[in-house]
Amino acid sequence: MKNQVQLITYVDRLGGGTLSDLQRLLAGPLDGLFGGAHLLPFYTPIDGSDAGFDPDDHLTVDPRLGDWGDVRTLGHDVDLMADLIVNHVSSRSPQFQDVLANGENSDWNDLFLTYRRVFPDGATESDITAIYRPRPNLPWTPYTVGGEKRLFWTTFTPQQLDIDVETPRGEAYLDSILARFEASGVSMIRLDAAGYAIKRPGTRCFMLPETYDFIHRLSDKADTRGIETLVEIHSHYQTQIEIANRVGRVYDFALPPLVLHALFSGEAGPLAHWLSIAPRNCITVLDTHDGIGVLDVGADGDKPGLLAPQSIDRLVETIHERSNGESRQATGAAASNLDLYQVNCTYYSALGARDNEYLIARALQFFAPGVPQVYYTGLLAGENDVDLLNRTGVGRDINRHYYSREEIDAALDRPVVQRLFELIRLRNRHPAFQGEFGVERTSDHAMVLSWTSDDRRLELSVDFARPSARIIEGDDTLFEF
């Protein structure tokens, strides 16, 4: 992966709707901004129950977007990342439909994980309550197979059937996807929901020792095909550090809420502390196709978090206030597809559409250790799409706007977007970012982030009390917010 800003986008939601349209956009007004592009699920279909994360067919590009040849062509221009949806497949998939029709005689019977396979002797109350849940429902859904109801493991939604990755059939299924990626020029994969892949009775069924082993084996397989691996896991920050020591790259999911906390409260301490210990082999984000996570800065049992519970409560309430209550409509029990660890809102709206604070937040992301990734709505300083939320009732859709080419052209004329593009080009081109990172808290409300390579040094000085920021090289101020 190039040490340059990366784009993360849905193919059909950014200026046209096809892989060829996206390629023209990247070669046109977005030329030179990105060293790589993460294409969110483009498999058949892109409009299932979870915006492509519940594929019927992981090996086929949705024909409305193009085909694998178009993927390879786009990969000639930018490095491509794709999602390997490790944990589940759609209930509409041919494999599961074959199981429903033929039961244990199906060739695909062992692909899907059942309650009985994990708990052959039944589960106790403590077994069930120990299971870590991203959503407030039980992790099983009954389906009728051969006249008998069977409980299939469904970590996320009833339409997303968990794969038994420990069976030969499950292993072969994942291997076939890796082979397709390699043949199509995909150079990096994100392991989606990998933390839930292994289940054991009497455990949390999340990030077990066996899970680390599974991720390591899968990463090794990808590496032999020339494919890098990014692991997506929302968890306590110490778990992120531990994972980072075992895999190629991890997400820095603690950064988004800590930047908001610093801008909302004026306190520099928690963010400065995290930047001093954060993994260096990470992908930094402020916004993604999911919401703004808070689990990653919270406590886990007796392990304290990066923010105290009352600080997290204030953070969430401030997002709701600054977004004029729009994020409250899209979060938790107010909307379907809810998660327990996120606030659904664009990052720009979470800051109250304040251009200055938004640019400070992006500068902090670009100076943080790791490779920055920018979500397509964040690239255009997009506000909440309440109309889409109201049409679908899906909370995450508030941050998943469909941009026409005309809307993109209008956004490109906005000063905040133009300044963001200037910051991206600085991050891509300045040699200091190839050197050593440093962070210093200069007061309770101020900090300096620096990068130094040979005789080139770049500093970002931020005063959260005002808030204001400057990017300095020597005696020259390159940016001031």
Are 215 and 324 part of one and the same domain? Answer: yes
Q: Could you list the active site residues?
A: 192, 232
pLDDT at residue 99 tops 70: yes
**What digits encode the pLDDT tens for the residues 69-80?**
999 999 999 999
Token digits for 27?
A: 């070669």
Does a structural domain hold residue 391? yes
What CATH number is given to the structural domain containing 104?
Answer: 3.90.400.10
Higher pLDDT, 339 or 420: 420
d(CA 381, CA 358): 8
The pLDDT value given to residue 233: 84
d(CA 173, CA 408): 38
Its sign, for the CA torsion 161, 166, 172, 178, is positive
Are 222 and 121 part of one and the same domain? Answer: no
pLDDT at residue 135 tops 90: no
Q: 453: which strand partners?
A: 456
pLDDT at residue 338 tops 50: no
Q: Which amino acid, residue 301?
A: G
pLDDT at residue 156 tops 70: yes
3-class secondary structure per residue, the chain: CCCCCEEEECHHHECCCCHHHHHHHHHCCCCCCCCEEEECCCEECCCCCCCCCCCCEEEEECCCCCCHHHHHHHHCCCEEEEEEECCEEECCCHHHHHHHHHHHHCCCHHHECEHHHHCCCCCCHHHHHHCCCCCCCCCEEEEEECCEEEEEECCCCCCEEEECCCCHHHHHHHHHHHHHHHHCCCCEEEEECHHHCCCCCCCCCCCCHHHHHHHHHHHHHHHHCCCEEEECCCCCHHHHHHHHCCCCEEEECCHHHHHHHHHHHCCCHHHHHHHHHCCCCEEECCCCCCCEECHHHCCECCECCCCCHHHHHHHHHHHHHHCCCHHHHHCHHHCECCCCCEECCCHHHHCCCCHHHHHHHHHHHHHCCCEEEEEHHHHCCCCCCHHHHHHHCEHHHHHCCCECHHHHHHHHCCHHHHHHHHHHHHHHHCHHHHCEEEEEEEECCEEEEEEEECCEEEEEEEECCCCEEEEEECCEEEEEC
pLDDT at residue 334 tops 70: no
Give ∠ CA 352-358-361 in degrees, rounded to 5: 125
Burial state string for 127-155 with b = 16 or more CB within 10 A and e = fewer than 16: eeeebebbeeeebbbebebeeeebbbbbb
d(CA 443, CA 445): 5
The pLDDT value given to residue 208: 93
Q: Which amino acid, residue 281?
A: N
**What digits encode the pLDDT tens for the residues 318-328?**
999 999 999 99
pLDDT at residue 146 tops 90: no
**pTM score of the predicted model:** 0.94
**What digits encode the pLDDT tens for the residues 231-249?**
988 888 998 898 888 888 9
Does a structural domain hold residue 120? yes
112-127 mean pLDDT: 96
Counted domains in the chain: 2
**What digits encode the pLDDT tens for the residues 158-201?**
999 999 999 999 999 999 999 999 999 999 999 988 999 999 99
Token digits for 76?
A: 């000639």
The pLDDT value given to residue 273: 98
Are 367 and 226 part of one and the same domain? Answer: yes
Q: Which residues define the annotated binding site for sucrose?
A: 88, 190-192, 232, 289-290
**What digits encode the pLDDT tens for the residues 435-468?**
999 999 999 999 999 999 998 999 999 999 999 9
Q: Which residues define the annotated binding site for substrate?
A: 50, 339-342, 396
Are 12 and 110 part of one and the same domain? Answer: no
pLDDT at residue 291 tops 90: no
Q: Using the 3D structure, point to which of 140, 162, 184 is the last residue of a domain.
A: 162
User: Residue 261 CB: number of other CB atoms within 10 A?
Assistant: 25
**What digits encode the pLDDT tens for the residues 366-421?**
999 999 999 999 999 999 999 999 999 999 999 999 999 999 999 999 999 999 99
The pLDDT value given to residue 301: 85
Does a structural domain hold residue 465? no
Does a structural domain hold residue 456? no
Q: How confident is the model at residue 219 (pLDDT cuts 50, 70, 90)?
A: very high
Does a structural domain hold residue 450? no
φ, ψ for residue 101 (rounded to 5)?
-80, -35
pLDDT at residue 337 tops 50: no
In order of 133, 212, 389, the CA distances from 193 in angstroms are: 12, 13, 24
Token digits for 234?
A: 């929302």
Are 273 and 419 part of one and the same domain? Answer: yes
Are 58 and 120 part of one and the same domain? Answer: no
Q: Which amino acid, residue 159?
A: Q
pLDDT at residue 309 tops 60: yes
Report the share of the chain in percent with pLDDT over 90: 86
Please check whether residue 15 is in contact with residue 403, taking contact to mean a CB–CB distance below 8 angstroms. Answer: yes
Per mean pLDDT, which of 16-25, 187-196, 296-305, 413-422 is the most reliable? 413-422
Token digits for 449?
A: 């982030």
Are 99 and 197 part of one and the same domain? Answer: no
Does a structural domain hold residue 44? yes
**What digits encode the pLDDT tens for the residues 27-58?**
999 999 999 999 999 999 999 888 899 899 99
Are 188 and 150 part of one and the same domain? Answer: no
Are 311 and 402 part of one and the same domain? Answer: yes
What CATH number is given to the structural domain containing 253?
Answer: 3.20.20.80
Q: What is the CA radius of gyration of the chain?
A: 22
Average pLDDT of the chain is 94
Does a structural domain hold residue 29? yes
The pLDDT value given to residue 333: 62
Are 103 and 184 part of one and the same domain? Answer: no
Are 217 and 336 part of one and the same domain? Answer: yes
Are 211 and 348 part of one and the same domain? Answer: yes
d(CA 63, CA 139): 32
In order of 2, 249, 286, the CA distances from 272 in angstroms are: 26, 21, 16
Q: Which of 475, 355, 471 is nearest to 423 (CA)?
A: 471
Q: Using the 3D structure, point to which of 125, 147, 162 is the last residue of a domain.
A: 162
The pLDDT value given to residue 296: 92
Query: CB-hemisphere CA count at 13 Å for 448?
Result: 12
Q: Which residues define the annotated binding site?
A: 50, 88, 190-192, 232, 289-290, 339-342, 396
**What digits encode the pLDDT tens for the residues 246-269?**
888 999 999 999 999 999 999 999
Domain that holds residue 98: 94-162
Does a structural domain hold residue 462? no
Q: Using the 3D structure, point to which of 138, 162, 186 is the last residue of a domain.
A: 162
